[in-house]
Amino acid sequence: MPNYTLPDGETVKNKVGARSHAELETIEVDFVKARQLEHAANPRIARTFDAAHLKAIHRQLFQDVYEWAGRTRDEQVRLSDRTIASEPLLYRPGSKPFAAGARINDGLDDLAARLRDADYLRGLSRTEFATRAASVLAEANGIHAFREGNGRTQRIFLQELAASAGHKLEFRVVSRERMVQASIAAHEDRDIGPMRRMFDEISNPNRVAALTPAIAFLNSAKYPWNDRYVATLEPGHVQDLTVAGVSGANFMARTDTSILIGQRADLPSPDTASGARVKVFPSRWPEPDDQPTPSTRLGPSLGP
């Protein structure tokens, strides 16, 4: 038996005394956020971009919550309740399994070797880096080295890889739903396209600048944006949309499942009103060396 969970089979054994999944999730968030701030303010982990680096990040983030922080799920970890936790085979119902057994650490070592051979993606243009970095996250997610906490650990690893290569990744504008869709496409369907589009977007400060005020508005309106696919419009892909709001250089549109941000210049008319149905031909977003797109607060209508 894996022995990672309490008798309910859902709540992961923890150091904070949580007895339900919901309680643990709430407490874990606060502890991990504090450790993330600590790591950002005073980074002490050697940026070696290998298994040791990834494990050290996980250990720092989750040390207050789990006894096995920093230990991969194939390891046998003796817990304080005298059980031994190990889960070398992990999969979600109806999904392909993640890397199993020895393939977990072998996979991490292979990934580290390829990064080393590629000089840790240094010397690449922004778009080249985004393409390669997307594959790194997809591969790390397919390994799924830890029982819990893979996403937050991997995102810090990728942000540090980006900084080392002279780039920046802004995962703060990625909704939970978008990350789930990109991860499933890469793992289940071997389709890296959604992940690459996401990385191209979050490495472009002008697209990030368009998303930031939109997300701020959604937060202020208590709109559950994390449960929607949130993105800037992809150039060259015609879209039939309902306009939700226009402000400054950008507009917000919605579909049944998505919130999309576009450039006002792409609307059929500069006076397009909220609620209008439009066909949009998205133009190219400015590159970082271009004139930045001004970003202002959007005030859309998000009702049906």
pLDDT tens digit sequence for 137-175: 999 999 999 999 999 999 999 999 999 999 999 999 999
pLDDT interval class at 237 (50, 70, 90) = confident
Please give the DSSP secondary-structure letter assigned to residue 233.
P
Residue extents of the structural domains in the chain: 21-202, 211-280
Q: Model pTM?
A: 0.92
CA–CA distance, 107 with 111 (Å, rounded to integer): 6
Give the C-alpha separation, 270 to 278, whole Å.
Answer: 12
CA distance 295 to 86: 48
Other beta carbons less than 10 A from residue 2's beta carbon: 15
Q: Which residue has the higher pLDDT, 299 or 277?
A: 277
Within 10 angstroms of residue 266's Cβ, the number of other Cβ atoms is: 16
Q: Which CATH architecture has domain 21-202?
A: Orthogonal Bundle (1.10)
Cα–Cα nearest to 204, from 118, 295, 85: 295
Q: Which CATH architecture has domain 211-280?
A: Beta Barrel (2.40)
C-alpha to C-alpha distance for 64 and 167, rounded to whole angstroms = 31
- pLDDT at 302 exceeding the cut of 60: no
pLDDT band at 22 (very low <50, low <70, confident <90, very high): very high
DSSP class of 119 = G
**Structure tokens, 155:** 């995102």
